[in-house]
Amino acid sequence: MTSGQTNPTVCDYNDYDYRTQFWSKANRTYEHQSEVTMVRRLIQNWATQHTHICDAGCGFGRLIPAYENLFEQYHLVDYAASMLNQIDSRFTATSGYHRYQQSLYDITLPYPMDVIISIRTLHHLPDTERLLDRLYHQLSPNGILIMDIPNYYHIKQRLKRPFQKKLDRIKRSNQYYTYNTKKIIEIFKIKGFNIVCKRQMGLFRSHFLKKWVPPQWLMALDMVANWFFSQWDIGPSVYIVAKKCG
């Protein structure tokens, strides 16, 4: 899907305290721990080279624990300078961490990446074709891209509106989109990726469950559910491992 814009609008978090407002003040321990665990597991299972990794849309470095100590060089990219400035001072160029203030639509890295992760970014980037084309060209041959797709047609939505017409993309609010996962996967393939793994995330994301059930238990339920439903696109977030062909 393309926005049809030569210079698509970029979601700018420079003036938004994302760390505090979205994570610290909200009950999202389950989501955070699940994402760190899932990303690390996917890297360990699918990455074949461990020299360069890029966290594309890294924010304040929330997912660094998912790949810390697994690579030689770490490339952290975000559009918001205020986010990059919040990354822990331990993670500097001398320790192998390099920061770049760039739009993901125009991401340019100094080396081919063995792994690129891009989590919680696609819902702000509706020009999917341009994004995936750019990320493809930053990967080394047989490198992998780990990305989550915000899935509009998850299980709750299907139960509430079983006969709803399936659109390719839904604009939920200003600069926030959810998608038809099958359509996004088609674009991955058109751009030269081979989908090697798919996982459902956030299957037990509800205020009631998060209030009464420990995050570790919800994470365990997520993992068990994926044994049976990983290919069904029923989670609010669908994780994709895409391998660059060639």
Question: Is the pLDDT reported for residue 169 higher than 90?
Answer: no
pLDDT in tens, 218-245: 999 998 998 888 888 888 999 999 999 8
- What's the CA gap between 188 and 195, in Å, rounded? 8
Asked whether residue 31 is assigned to any structural domain, the reply reads yes
Q: How do beta strands 97-101 and 73-78 pair?
A: parallel
The count of structural domains within the chain is 1
Which CATH number belongs to the domain containing residue 67 in this structure?
Answer: 3.40.50.150
Query: Who has greater pLDDT, 9 or 205?
Result: 205
Question: Is the pLDDT reported for residue 2 higher than 70?
Answer: no
Asked whether residue 18 is assigned to any structural domain, the reply reads no
| Residues forming beta bridges with residue 118, ordered by sequence position | 147
Per-residue pLDDT at 155: 64
Q: Which residue spans within the chain are E strands per DSSP?
A: 52-56, 73-78, 97-101, 113-118, 139-150, 169-173, 176-179, 193-201, 237-244
pLDDT in tens, 107-163: 999 999 999 999 999 999 999 999 999 999 999 999 999 999 999 877 666 666 666
Q: Residue written as tokens 């299972």?
A: 45
Asked whether residue 100 is assigned to any structural domain, the reply reads yes
Distances from the Cα of 108 to the Cαs of 39, 114, 116, 205, in angstroms?
Answer: 23, 15, 12, 35
Q: How do beta strands 113-118 and 52-56 pair?
A: parallel
Side chain identity, residue 128: T
Taking the whole predicted model, whether its pTM rises above 0.85 is answered as yes
Question: Is the pLDDT reported for residue 171 higher than 80?
Answer: no
Asked whether residue 12 is assigned to any structural domain, the reply reads no
Asked whether residue 17 is assigned to any structural domain, the reply reads no
Query: Who has greater pLDDT, 27 or 148?
Result: 148
Distant-in-sequence, close-in-space partners of 67: CB < 8 Å, separation ≥ 6 = 39, 40, 43, 53, 55, 74, 115, 117
- Residues 218/221/227/229 CA torsion (nearest 10 deg): -80
Asked whether residue 41 is assigned to any structural domain, the reply reads yes
Give residue 96's domain range. Answer: 27-244
Residue 4: pLDDT band with limits 50, 70, 90: low
Average pLDDT over residues 69-97: 94
Residue 121: φ, ψ to 5°: -115, -35
pLDDT in tens, 28-75: 999 999 999 999 999 999 999 999 999 999 999 999 999 999 999 999
Task: Report the chain's mean pLDDT, rounded to a whole number.
Answer: 90
Per-residue pLDDT at 168: 66
Asked whether residue 2 is assigned to any structural domain, the reply reads no
Asked whether residue 5 is assigned to any structural domain, the reply reads no
